[in-house]
Amino acid sequence: MTLSELFRQTVDAFAAAGLDAPQEDAHHLVSGVLGLTLTEMVTEGARVIDAIEMQAVAEAVERRKNREPVYRILGAREFYGLDFLLSPETLEPRPDTEILVEQCLPFLKRRIAETGRARFVDLGTGTGAIAITLLSQCPEAEGVATDISEGALETARGNALINGVADRLSLKQGSWFEAIDGRFDMIVSNPPYIVSDEIAALQPEVRDFDPLAALDGGESGLDAYRAIAAGAGDHLAEGGIVALEIGAEQKVAVTRVFTEAGFKLSVAAKDLGGNDRVLIFIRSD
């Protein structure tokens, strides 16, 4: 069987399984398993696939048909041009979170230009995607990243090493602020924000494979925001910001939580679908 035939067979299998994007999934899965670029998937279409490669692709295809996400099967995902290892203890980084990074970078770079340095904390870091990306873009910055999961921190540690920022990232185990001291120029987080009762209705790719602790925001979806708002005042440096990813319908509710804690909304950014996705708060005094 040639590469082109294998690709077409995989597309057909995914379509028959009712997957939403069979061609896109086939491109990424087959290329990832075989170690090919997407360009090579086209230019090497006549290449004959050997038995070992066929078996590896067949096993991956079965996992995807059972709704395991492509990048979890491959064990890694690109985020903001960097590669991140995944583990069962970590949320899979997604394009929406790149908007959070993009909104944080101008502040960090301005802070560095003014003071020569910047220090931030990433709460609930998971793979470390946010913290590591910020450090890769800002060589003068230093970061602290926290997570309640030891397994997540091990994954983040590996990703920091792979991406060359381990010497500027300190990893702490604990819930929100409990493992850290001092003040930071920026507090950033993509916390769990899905209402508990809505988790059962999520797509299987999310519900069954992302860790529940990284999804469940409690009865109102606001538990994490309340915890962050309560502790931010004691850990934010003068002139600092709190930057957060939010759910599509949470702008008003999250803004109310932070307003009551002594902050005011400074920036609101939307995702590519036009939904409110990132909020940045500053002290109101």
> What's residue 138's pLDDT?
97
Sheet containing strand 141-147, strands side by side: 169-173, 141-147, 118-123, 184-189, 236-245, 276-283, 263-270
| Residue type, position 255, single letter | T
Average pLDDT over residues 125-137: 98
| pLDDT tens per residue, range 210-258 | 999 999 999 999 999 999 999 999 999 999 999 999 998 999 999 999 9
User: Is the model's pLDDT at 34 over the cut of 80?
Assistant: yes
Whole-angstrom distance, CA of residue 106 vs CA of residue 114: 12
**Class at the top of the CATH hierarchy for domain 3-74:** mainly alpha
**Per-residue model confidence (pLDDT) at position 100:** 97
The CATH number of the domain covering residues in 88-283 = 3.40.50.150
pLDDT (0 to 100) of residue 42: 87
pLDDT in tens, 190-207: 999 999 999 999 999 999
- Give span(s): CATH 1.10.8.10, the chain: 3-74
Cα dihedral 160, 81, 75, 28 in deg (nearest 10): -170
- pLDDT average, residue stretch 161-171: 98
**What pTM was estimated for this model as a whole?**
0.92
pLDDT at 285 over 80: no
> Where along the chain do the CATH 3.40.50.150 domains lie?
88-283
- For the stretch 37-92, pLDDT in tens is 888 988 988 889 999 999 999 999 999 999 999 999 999 999 999 999 999 999 99
Q: What secondary structure letter does DSSP report for 250?
A: -
What end-to-end distance do the CA atoms of the chain give, in Å?
Answer: 68
- Strand bridging mode 82-85 / 76-79: antiparallel
Mean pLDDT value across the chain: 95
Band (111; pLDDT cuts 50, 70, 90): very high
What are the angstrom distances between the C-alpha of 175 and each of 22, 146, 149, 214, 216? 39, 7, 9, 12, 14
Q: Which of 128-132, 155-159, 228-232, 246-250 has the least mean pLDDT?
A: 246-250
Region for 269 from its dihedrals, namely left if φ exceeds 0, alpha if ψ lies in -120 to 50, beta otherwise: beta
